[in-house]
Structure 1
Amino acid sequence: MTIIHKRIFWLSMVVLFLIISSLIVLYGMGFKYNASTKSLESTGILYVKTYPRDVNVWLNNELYANQTPWQKSRLLPGEYILNIEARDYFSWQKKIDIKPGETTFVEDVVLFKREPMIALRNFELLDYLPLANNNQVLIVNENGLQKIIILNLPFENFIDLYTFTEISDLKLISLSGNDKKLIYQKDDTFWLINLDYPTEHYRLSGLHSSYWQDFKWHPTDDKVIYSLVDNILNEIVLDNEKPVLKNQLSSIYGYFPYTNNIIVAKKDNSDLMLTELTSELKKIKDLIIIPFSTKLSSNNYQDYLLLTDQIRNKTYFLQLGKEDINAKIFDNFTNFKWYDTMHDKIAMWNNNEISIYFLNRDDSLLLLRTTDSITDLWWHPNGTYLFYQIDNNINLIELDERDKRNNYFFSATETNSPFIINNKGTTIYSYNHTTQTFYSMDIQ
């Protein structure tokens, strides 16, 4: 081999080395050859996490995995169709954009079962109230006997608390904030029972029945009740379970228990002044003036208060712990439900729309608009799905706004009411008034 040939050979080796090393570096940096564009492009990563874990993950109709979490690297930029399936579950599908040099996360995907309803118990449901732990207090007529029972959702069983000796017109009125005491109406009289000692019933005598038409418990003290009668706010103390009128305040058009105090809407010329009072109705400070209304409702969590003017179809959102209080206004929404796990977002709805308000970023997301009438709504525990009721059926929609939202329909028999979702979001319970049967349906 001549010197020239040697030089050509070693020069070729150097050039080849530079080419190969460059390709290795580009590969390590996530570049990949795109045959359609005939060029090297930076790739992306797809990460998928689901519940349940044992699912089939399809990408552009090709099966890639049978379990999650799952990650696929070196995907060329572009649009992919992601399908997640499992036997006896509704499938999940969405178009996913893969971007160069980025990881696309598809997390908190929940697959829901296709299961029939199962009958739990037969009775005539007369009334019900939810407990804070998601259990339910029911008044039922079973085999000719009227009973107060507890539906224990985690164990899916019923606990008989009390059986009445005679048939009456019974109605559940209110539960105390700690779920210990229950006020119910029996014909024209009002009674109090302690759920820990359900055989002891106390007649709430000494006050006119109007005091028990619009009342609320103190948030933490089950011996204190507030009642609004003819724009007079009354503080009622249960002394040995007998109601005693303690304090009164006039010109009140709304009242809202708040931590250990109470917020009142007091007439102030042609407006209403929101004022914070002690539990004994003593003034602490004025908060903010709002337009006058005779029909107010509230929904609060810690320092946050949602105050709805049902006449104007307007809601004021207040953060009470601040020195200077300003009201954020939501128009056309009168129903609200906090996401109880994190309290970082609120579901808002009216007859035909559902929106989500995010506290951290102070903006709203329109989730659903429909011509049907929405009658109720519940959060799924992971905060990325919402149950909502239309007529006698339960629907479920995801918050993920990429592509089209997955929306599921759980078929139900006619005249189901109420619907109850357990705390884990795994089971729907409903009562059918026609068959007088309480049902459960597993969805996870």
Structure 2
Amino acid sequence: MNFRIRRLIFWSFIIAFFLLSPFIIFYTAGYRISEDGSLRIIKTGTLILSSTPRQASIILNGTDSGKVTPTIIKGLTPGRYEVTLTKKGYLPWKKRITVQENNATFVSDVRLFKDTAPVELLNKTNLSLWSKPRGTQILVIAKSNEAPHSFELSLLAKNPAAPIVPLASLDGDSLTPMDWSEDETRIIIQLDKEWVLLNLATHQTTTLSSSEILAGTFALHYSDNGLLYAATPKQIYLLEKQASKFVPRPVNQSASASTVTGHIDDFWIANSKLYEAVSLNEGSSLLRVSKLGSLNTASVALVDSGTYHYLDSDATTLLLTHNSDVLIYDISSLAPTLRTTIAGSMEAVIADTGAILYTRGFELQRYSAATNSHTLLVRTTTPLTSIGWLPGSQYALFSTNNNVYAIDTEGPELYTSWLLLHYDALQGYASTVDGSILYFAGQMPDGTSGLFERSL
């Protein structure tokens, strides 16, 4: 090769270097040419992913990225991506996300649900489950098939050797659990027309006598500090423990209930406050709030006349149901204020995060008080039968005629749902407080009836 050719090659490399260097620098700095035909130079985005459990494979727009969680994926062209996480033994997780220019998009704390079959714990029919909202205990109620009926009450325990702890046996035609004490050591039960207190530690039951309960009593509730309150249509009263008996004492701050021309439809206690839904004879309704232990009372007129009932509450939010509507109140102060009304809904529940899950026809929706916005999560082809939140998470549970699903309620575009159970008949379900186990009472497709557990 002569000198002239070598010099030509040398200068060719020099020219190529100077021509390509800006592109190499731009590329390594995260810049790309836009794919929309405008030939713009754009900055790429970053995707940061994590999951529980770890080591889930990451698929972007149907192509395996070769990476597993937790990881950081850089150099992504801005735009919409369908992210799928897969792991052996778990159901796949999928969501649409948008990667923005010169920004990091977080897909963090993704929960993967186990792909497992339910295990039978108890082979019985006529079972139901009951738990305190955001509580730790789950009560199992087994009703005998033959009259006169008896009810076997048990607690579920996370103990493989003894998953069911027997509590008591009660005889009667109907049994309705009414309330838990705040520390979940006692339960109020309505057995036919009697009121029964069940101590979960001693397994002892106490039936309240006619001298302890005023005539016309329709509800009993525990206060935050463990005191027992009851209601007649005209008055709220405290059941004060004296020796071995309860003595009914009128509650001063509720004495005005005797002076109004109407009756109490429902009452409940939350955040050391006593709430009463009152129907007035002149056709209107009001919500009265009293601070326990003081004479501070506030009353607000309810939107329409008729009967109102309590659904759920937390420190700042109260849910009431009226006809076929759910009313959401702000209770951060003594006098509640109406945030919004959800027409056509009869079921709603508050998450630990403050979000509200509710049904409307065949739709499952989420309401955010912070933004006063409603988000459609899923529309089903069969009626929704029950809903609930997995404790301390963005994941919710809902059931239809034959299935129980989990759903990721965080958006913005695709809300992934997972089929957890398929059944022939549902009598109730509940999850443990850590969300690791789902218990189900009902009949499976193979005809087996009883209590089942499914690891989540």
Same fold? TM cut 0.5: yes
8 Å Cα contact 1:205-1:242 kept in structure 2: no
1:261 aligns with 2:259: no
Q: CA separation in 2, counterparts of 1:240 and 1:221?
A: 19
Q: CA separation in 1, counterparts of 2:243 and 2:87?
A: 58
- Larger mean CA deviation between 102-111 and 134-143 belongs to 134-143
**Length-normalised TM-score, structure 2:** 0.80
Give how far 1:415 is off: 1.5
Matches within 5 A, 1:21-32: 22-23=22-23, 25-32=25-32
Q: State the partner residue of 2:289.
A: 276
Matches within 5 A, 1:279-290: 279=292, 283-290=295-302
Deviation per residue, 1:147-169 (Å, 9 max, x gap): 332112476711122356xx654
SS at 2:110's partner residue? Answer: strand
8 Å Cα contact 1:128-1:172 kept in structure 2: no
Q: State the partner residue of 1:49.
A: 50
1:357 aligns with 2:361: no
8 Å Cα contact 1:352-1:370 kept in structure 2: yes
Deviation per residue, 1:288-316 (Å, 9 max, x gap): 2223533211222124222332x262414
SS at 2:26's partner residue? Answer: helix
Give how far 1:387 is off: 1.2
Q: CA separation in 2, counterparts of 1:36 and 1:308?
A: 51
Q: State the partner residue of 1:181.
A: 186
1:62 aligns with 2:63: yes
SS at 1:337's partner residue? Answer: strand
8 Å Cα contact 1:191-1:204 kept in structure 2: no
8 Å Cα contact 1:122-1:142 kept in structure 2: no
1:330 aligns with 2:336: no
Q: CA separation in 2, counterparts of 1:275 and 1:168?
A: 35
Give how far 1:418 is off: 1.0
- Larger mean CA deviation between 23-32 and 362-371 belongs to 23-32
Q: State the partner residue of 1:321.
A: 333
Alignment-mate amino acid for residue 219 of structure 1: S
**Length-normalised TM-score, structure 1:** 0.81
Give how far 1:124 is off: 4.3
Cα 1:210–1:396 change in 2 (3 A) is farther
Q: State the partner residue of 1:237.
A: 240
Instruction: Identify the match of residue 246 of structure 1 among 234, 246, 249.
Output: 249
Cα 1:59–1:204 change in 2 (3 A) is same
Q: In angstroms, what is the RMSD of aligned CA positions? A: 3.7
Cα 1:208–1:294 change in 2 (3 A) is farther
8 Å Cα contact 1:202-1:241 kept in structure 2: no
Q: CA separation in 2, counterparts of 1:325 and 1:142?
A: 46
Alignment-mate amino acid for residue 236 of structure 1: L
Cα 1:216–1:198 change in 2 (3 A) is same
Cα 1:263–1:65 change in 2 (3 A) is same
Instruction: Identify the match of residue 133 of structure 1 among 132, 135, 147.
Output: 135
Q: CA separation in 2, counterparts of 1:324 and 1:223?
A: 24
Cα 1:226–1:292 change in 2 (3 A) is farther
SS at 1:361's partner residue? Answer: coil
Q: CA separation in 2, counterparts of 1:324 and 1:376?
A: 27
1:159 aligns with 2:165: yes
Q: State the partner residue of 1:5.
A: none
Q: State the partner residue of 1:192.
A: 197
Q: CA separation in 2, counterparts of 1:68 and 1:195?
A: 43
Alignment-mate amino acid for residue 47 of structure 1: I
Matches within 5 A, 1:34-433: 37=37, 40-125=41-126, 128-131=129-132, 133-140=135-142, 147-153=152-158, 157-163=163-169, 168-169=172-173, 171-178=175-182, 179-186=184-191, 189-199=194-204, 201-206=206-211, 211-212=216-217, 214-229=218-233, 231-240=234-243, 242-247=245-250, 249-250=257-258, 251=262, 252-266=264-278, 270-279=283-292, 283-298=295-310, 299-309=312-322, 311=323, 313-321=325-333, 325=337, 327-340=339-352, 342-343=353-354, 345-381=355-391, 383-432=393-442
SS at 2:203's partner residue? Answer: strand
Alignment-mate amino acid for residue 358 of structure 2: M
Give how far 1:426 is off: 2.8
Cα 1:258–1:102 change in 2 (3 A) is same
Cα 1:73–1:256 change in 2 (3 A) is same
Cα 1:188–1:39 change in 2 (3 A) is closer
Give how far 1:200 is off: 5.3
Cα 1:123–1:100 change in 2 (3 A) is same
SS at 1:198's partner residue? Answer: coil
Alignment-mate amino acid for residue 194 of structure 1: N
Alignment-mate amino acid for residue 363 of structure 2: E
Cα 1:358–1:81 change in 2 (3 A) is closer
SS at 1:291's partner residue? Answer: coil
Give how far 1:347 is off: 1.1
8 Å Cα contact 2:141-2:154 kept in structure 1: yes
Cα 1:185–1:241 change in 2 (3 A) is farther
Cα 1:223–1:93 change in 2 (3 A) is closer
Segments of 5+ residues of structure 2 without an aligned counterpart are 1-10
8 Å Cα contact 1:169-1:187 kept in structure 2: yes
Give how far 1:409 is off: 1.9
User: Matched residue pairs, number?
Assistant: 428
Give how far 1:255 is off: 2.7
Cα 1:59–1:151 change in 2 (3 A) is same
Could you tell me the percent identity over the aligned residues?
Answer: 18
8 Å Cα contact 2:268-2:274 kept in structure 1: yes
Give how far 1:224 is off: 2.1
